Structure 1
Amino acid sequence: MENNKTFHSSDIIFSSEGFGLLRKTLYENIGEKRAKILLLQFGYKLGREKALELKQYYSDKKELIRWAPLTHINLGHVSKVETNGSSILNENGEIIFIDSIGKWFDSFEADLHTHYHGESNTSACHILSGYASGYLSEIYEIDIYVVEQSCKAMGYPHCTFEVNTKKQWLQINPLILNEFDHQTVAEELEITYDKLLGQKLLLDKVTNYHSQLTECVAKKNSLLHVLTTAYNILNIPIIIKQTNDKTIALQGIDLTTYTNLLEQEPKAVTISKHNETIFEKLGEIYKMTTPIYLDNKVFATCSFLYENPQSLDENDYLFLERLSTVCALCFLKEKISFETTERLKISILDRLIYMKHESEEEFKTHFRLLTDKMEEPYASLVIRCNNKKDTYLPIDYYDQLLQFSQIFKLHYLNALFSISNQDIYVLFSTSTHQNIEEPLLKILNQMQKNNPDLHYTIGVSHPFTQLELFSEHLKQAKQAVSLPRNKSISYYSELGLLGDFLNNIDTETLKKTASTQLKDLLIPEPKMQELLYTLYIYLINGKRLERTMQALNLSMGGIQYRIRKIEETIQINLKDSYTTAYLLLLIEALIIMKEIEF
């Protein structure tokens, strides 16, 4: 026999106290916020079901509206309902509520809340609000929300509410819709599951990424190998650039394509920031960039490039910042290796300077272990670093040496470096460059860009072929760099007679001769130094008063006055060309010997 069962709706007796306990249990188990939403949705469905039930008996909308407060009372929700306001149709045929407010008297839900939870800080009649909203929404066939404004559970004598359409609430207070349109617990759990699954997949990807990059570091792989590993995992083009905007490395994109993408130099528009990572739009492409630190300074930048914004993941900064750290370790390894090699070169060159080697062949044997490209002819260089006139910062000469050594390598120039008395000494192989001025000027320009607060000058000796002559030619470079000329590079050959003069005269004799000829001008007093400098400028400008006036920024009368004071002090007539040539030779010799400084 077939057993057919049909469900019939029936009333279940459920005391208000039992409902209060159920409500309290919801608050305790799922929290006040979710309990409120659940009760609101429960009431909404009850109201809608009641409206559908009454529609079976009444077709007139006004009659159904009249039943709205009566259903509240008949079900025991409240003892009385008062309503005010009206509703009209706008020009689009949409219903609009005007000042539709009302009161609920003796709300059962407010009483239950006060009994089980005490006085509330917010409205507590969630079922009543939901019930009224569901009932009216079904009757009018649009979304209508009844929002409680004040509640008996908050200490008010009655509960008050306001009625508006969803569209009206969007204009009045959009946040209210979050409670009515909130997803169900099942939907929320599904979203939470999807998020947790996404986080797990992200964690697995991050773990694998970190593991492979850490392995690269442990195996001391090159920067290129690190970038290749990262690109194979992420499939995002990677760019490493120095702070001077010079490209160090690319992966996943070739230099031509990258250059073409940026050839119009689009203005960067910042979209977001996270820590020091910046995400920006450049024309049609997107770029995420983070700094690479070395010795607590920004050494370079690491960037991800996106031609298609849909390929962007908001978590990519995690991978970029990790890659930046690993790149910093690669650069640090290269720096340590480079500095170790440079220290060996310094040690070898110092032995040559101070003649601590047995023979030239022994010296060549030592530095062939470091480089096999140091071939004759050679030149001795002296590089001098000074602060510009408006800056007085301490100079790290060892750091300057390393910078010069690195830039020499970039220009394929072979050289050994050392430091002594704040000068950088260089043994320079000129075998591959007959004209050395052009590459030296490029090097100075690059150093000037990297160190804008410093001024550089280079002295160059005569060329030589025997390494044992390095120290002798080093003196020539020192003399060349010491001469105050408005040139970045000075050659010993430009000294002419002065160079031979210094090489063939006793320094003490020279000092006595200068003291006899220049007299009080050598006294270290500001006025005498001013006159001595005026004499020097006057002589190197061929005794032309106008050029001297321009060089010293003085009037013609001021120059003439100083010339007379100089002649009175040294008791020499400066119109005598032989005498003035001799004086210029003496002054420049003292400058080169660092007996006087301007």
Structure 2
Amino acid sequence: MSLNQKMDRNKTDNEGRIYLDDERVILTSSAVFGILRKDLMDNISEERMKGFLIRYGWNLGKNDAKNVLKKHQSSIEELLKKGPELHMMRGFTKVKRVDLQLDYDEDGQIESVHVEGFWSGSYEAEEFIEQFGHSDTAVCYTLVGYASGYYSEICQKTVIFKEVACKATGADNCYYVGKTIPEWNGSIEKELKYYYDEPIVRELEITYEKLLEERNNFEKTFTIHERLTAEFTNGNDLQTIADAIYEEIGIPILIENADLSPLAGSGLPLDFFTNGYLDFKSAVHIQREENYYQTREISDGGNQYLTTPIMLQRKCFGFCSFIYEGNQPVTKVDLMILERVASVCSLYILNEKTTFEAVERIKGHFLDQIIDGGPLSEKEILTRGKYIQTDLNEPYCIAALKYDNENAGSENGLLIHDQVLKVYSITLKTGLMC
């Protein structure tokens, strides 16, 4: 029976019911679907609108396929030919199939499908252009869903169609490709989610759960930041800060200076510095890539590391690192906490640096007064010595340092002089700022 003959089988009863091929149908303007599409985009988002239209088309195509299977006992090839006819009878589009490949298994069941063809005069493409103008992507979601549902029901195998060219994007006609899922080789995975109906209530629940997680992360990070600030303002050192972090989150932490010498650590295995430290340095510090001075997540196959630099005055003074055993995941909140630890460490180093420089200036001035024989009594000398943590009642040594400087007296010479004194003094301390 030709398509025109089938169209002649339309009939209307006295109640205003319209039947097409013995199935009741309704007539409506295609413009209504364009308006519906726009309202869906405005009210439930473009992503949910796409899923809605694909599932609508899927159910429509699946229902038509069921009706065809009830009325006909033809071969699968013949049944599949009726899909385009029904598509055209509904006024969706004109279909021209250009390729159909069916593979069967030993039991005569469909194993794989590959079909291609044109859709011309697609009502979806025309209405989209009318409502929105041209698109950057294919828009015939109902047609894609219909073809997928029809073929899947006839073949009893999931067949997914994809529009690879669309009139709405400026093509002369829409072009479709349909395949069973394995034949897509993973390239259709992003489209599969649209075929599953996830209620908007569930989507809101997921959004709420994410917001709740973000709030909890913020609260946890804020609480830890408050404790770190308290440790710093109380004058505690880096080891105390490291201990506080390990106590709060239970992740081993290591703080290093710019020379990659350990300054503090907590939660580390007892044999870490004899067995594990070389592996850590090899994974984290050996290969200095472009992002070396950024927060990085690194794996050496056995452990995970999260490391971030301690930056001060645009210079790197060290690194803070979390060390994860095995495949323990690195979370977003861990990153937030580590960056705050690095900030507190930079403040600690700045404070130590400022204090050190101030004390050194006081020492220099005090020594000049003693050497020059200034108006200081013995009692005043002993008292001022205590101000710089030097008990002059105890035995002490004096070291004299001499070096040649061709730029003495110049601005560079003063800078070099200051750096030499600073390096020499630092070597007598803990190595914090090396």
Same fold flag (TM > 0.5) = yes
Counterparts of 1:220 and 1:276 in 2: how far apart (Å)?
Answer: 28
The alignment status of 1:25 with 2:39, answered yes or no, reads yes
1:181 aligns with 2:193: yes
**Offset, 1:357:** 4.9
Partner residue of 2:341?
323
Of residues 98, 107, 117 in structure 2, which corresponds to 1:84?
98
1:456-511 deviation per Cα after TM superposition (whole angstroms, max 9, x unaligned): xxxxxxxxxxxxxxxxxxxxxxxxxxxxxxxxxxxxxxxxxxxxxxxxxxxxxxxx
- Cα distance in 2 for partners of 1:293, 1:266 equals 19
Name the structure 1 match of 2:152. Answer: 137
- Give the distance between the partners of 1:191 and 1:244, measured in 2 at CA: 46
Are residue 15 (structure 1) and residue 28 (structure 2) matched? yes
Alignment gaps of 5+ in structure 1:
1-9, 411-445, 451-598
Q: State the partner residue of 1:336.
A: 354
Q: Distance in 1 between matches of 2:337 and 2:299?
A: 19
Secondary structure of the equivalent of 1:253? coil
What letter corresponds to residue 333 of structure 1 in structure 2? N
Preserved contact between residue 97 and residue 164 of structure 1 (Cα < 8 Å): yes
DSSP-derived class of the 2:223 partner? helix
Aligned residue in 2 for 1:209: 224
Q: One-letter code of the match for 1:277? A: T
- Of 85-94 and 297-306, more deviation after overlay is shown by 85-94
* 1:42 paired residue number: 56
Partner of 2:330: 312
Aligned to 1:494: none
- Equivalent of 1:397, from 410, 417, 420? 417
Task: Compute the RMSD of aligned alpha carbons.
Answer: 3.7
Change (3 A) 1:287 1:393: farther
Correspondence 1:253 to 2:268 = yes
Aligned 8 A contact 2:98 2:118 in 1: no
Q: How far apart are residue 293 of structure 1 and its match? A: 3.2
Mapped pair 1:71 → 2:86? yes
Q: Counterpart of 1:113?
A: 128
Q: Distance in 2 between matches of 1:199 and 1:388?
A: 59
Query: Cα offset for 1:374?
Result: 4.8
What residue in structure 2 maps to residue 290 of structure 1?
A: 308
Instruction: Determine the C-alpha separation between the residues in 2 that align with 1:200 and 1:374.
Output: 57
Counterparts in 2 of 1:265 and 1:326: CA distance versus 1, 3 Å:
closer
User: Partners in 1 of 2:292 and 2:158 — Cα distance?
Assistant: 41
Q: Deviations over 1:206-259 (max 9, x none)?
A: 222223323334444433333333222222112122222322111222664343
Is 1:238–1:302's contact at 8 Å kept on the other side of the alignment?
yes
* Secondary structure, aligned partner of 1:25: helix
Q: 1:387 deviation in Å?
A: 5.7
Label 1:149 to 1:345 Cα distance change in 2 as closer, same or farther (>3 A). closer
Greater Cα offset, 66-75 or 315-324: 66-75
Whose Rg is larger?
Answer: 1
SS at match of 2:400: strand
> What residue in structure 2 maps to residue 53 of structure 1?
67
**Partner SS for 1:147:** strand
User: Quick one: which of 362, 380, 385 aligns to 1:367?
Assistant: 385
Once the 2 structures are TM-superposed, how far is the Cα of residue 131 of structure 1 from its aligned partner? 0.4
Amino acid paired to 1:13: I
Superposed, 1:389-468 pairs within 5 Å as 394=413, 395-409=415-429
Aligned pairs for 1:153-192 (under 5 A) are: 153=168, 158-170=173-185, 174=187, 176-182=188-194, 184=197, 186=199, 188-192=203-207
Maintained 8 Å contact 1:387/1:393: no
Percent identity (aligned):
31
Query: Which letter does structure 2 place at the counterpart of 1:292?
Result: I
**8 A Cα contact 1:289 1:303, kept in partner:** yes
Give the match's secondary structure for 2:221.
Answer: helix
1:530-551: per-residue Cα shift (whole Å, max 9, x none)? Answer: xxxxxxxxxxxxxxxxxxxxxx
Out of 361-370 and 331-340, give the one that drifted further.
Answer: 361-370
TM-score between both structures, scaled by the size of structure 1: 0.58
Between the aligned partners of 1:301 and 1:124, the Cα distance in structure 2 is: 51
Residue 117 of structure 2 is aligned to residue 102 of structure 1 = yes
Report the AA paired with residue 245 of structure 2.
A
Change (3 A) 1:56 1:388: farther
Note the 1:213-224 alignment, pairs <5 A.
213-224=228-239
Residue 307 (structure 1) shift:
1.7
Assess if the C-alpha contact under 8 Å between 1:148 and 1:159 holds in 2. Answer: yes
Say if 1:40 and 1:158 are closer, same or farther in 2 by CA, change over 3 A: same
Give the aligned residue type for 1:195.
K
**Number of equivalent positions:** 398
* 1:105-126 deviation digits (Å, cap 9, x = unpaired): 5433344334444455544332
1:292/1:298 contact within 8 Å kept: yes
The one-letter code matched in structure 2 to 1:405 is S
- Deviation per CA, 1:319-377, whole angstroms, max 9, x where unpaired? 11211111121222233333333333323322221122556565345424544555676
Query: Whole-Å Cα distance in 2 between the matches of residues 156 and 15 of structure 1?
Result: 27
What SS is found at the alignment partner of 2:255?
A: strand
TM-score, normalised on structure 2?
A: 0.76
For residues 376-430 of structure 1, give each alpha carbon's deviation from its aligned partner in whole angstroms, at most 9, with x where no partner exists: 76654320234699xx9644434433433343355xxxxxxxxxxxxxxxxxxxx
